[in-house]
Structure 1
Amino acid sequence: MFTPTILALSLFTTTILAHGNITSPPARLPGPSMSSICGPAAVAAINADGTGPLENIPSNGSPACNIGLCKGAQFADNAAIVQQYAPGEMVNFTAQLPIPHEGPCNVSIVDTASNTMIETLLVFDSYADENLAQLPLNNTQFSVQMPVDLKAGQCMQPGECTMQWFWFGEGAQQTYENCVDFVMTA
């Protein structure tokens, strides 16, 4: 008698579980600026499942809302968590991957004004492989080295650049992304 209910609840729980995100260093989060640009539904989707794929975040259709850049999260909502890094400094990352989906992943420095990659810091050709009994430790704890050869003055203003963790689960056809705002110190 209770078996169908238990089965239905377990299936529901499985569908609402998250997939992956960066927990350290602090990544951009949604806030009032994002709500005004992308709409409250986009903010609600991330707040409901911060580790869900980009494909689950609705956009209000505004050209200013770019879900493909930091999940649409705005720098204005995150100015208090800008990190400072020196050229050559090692930056430790921690990722949460409750539901793995094998596919490529990278961490890159992105120019936020143009949403273009400035430099790739780390590449995984195969990341978060759900066929493994246990994920390699470097999938959830890894480090990147800040570049020593950025153009003079590049990434020195808050909001100009972000470190983007970008992962595409090939089987699931889902995209995951987080951004860590930073400035380079001299």
Structure 2
Amino acid sequence: MELDDLKKAWGKFNDKVNEQALVESRQIEQMLAKKRMTNYKKLLWYEGISLGILFLLLLNLCLSFLVEPFYLTILDVPISIIILTAFGVNLFQYYKLRQAGCMKHDLEHQILYILQYRASLYWGYICVCIAIIPGVVLFIIYADMLWGCIVVGFVAFATLLDVFIFGHLFREIEKMLEANKELKRLAKTMHDH
């Protein structure tokens, strides 16, 4: 009789421990999912702001060409190339980020899309920098001294700001990526038990 009571007590204790572990793993899963979504929303906000600014610049460029279609200066072509390149790259980055946040994909695909977004961020900065350099050089050559100094100062300020934003975006991406990886490990651990 004591052995049966001991087995029942052990079974109840084991069930209680397993239930507690399940509750704790669910709480951890919820915390990681919340962290991932917070980072995702921040990145989406940054990309949305950037896309909006570039859209306004593109709209301004189109309106200026509609107002004066035959008046093109030597600086309008590089500026157009810079804005179009930045807009195209940013649109692709926004698309990749939306894919990374899509909850219909499993964690493996979300991680893949985050990595693709991070790679597009690298290549996007390289493409935009390559597009900006000839435009800045042409402007400095053909502008007077005051405007050349203003443009160089603006480009230096924008570059420093861009480096700061680039670093911040990568920290947010790494946080989101780490949360997804932890969720994947937790799901695998829960599945194994």
TM-score strictly above 0.5: no
Q: TM-score w.r.t. structure 2 length?
A: 0.30
Highest relative contact order (Cα 8 Å, sep 6+), 1 or 2?
2
Tell which structure's C-alpha radius of gyration is larger. Answer: 2
Q: TM-score w.r.t. structure 1 length?
A: 0.31
Which is richer in strand? 1
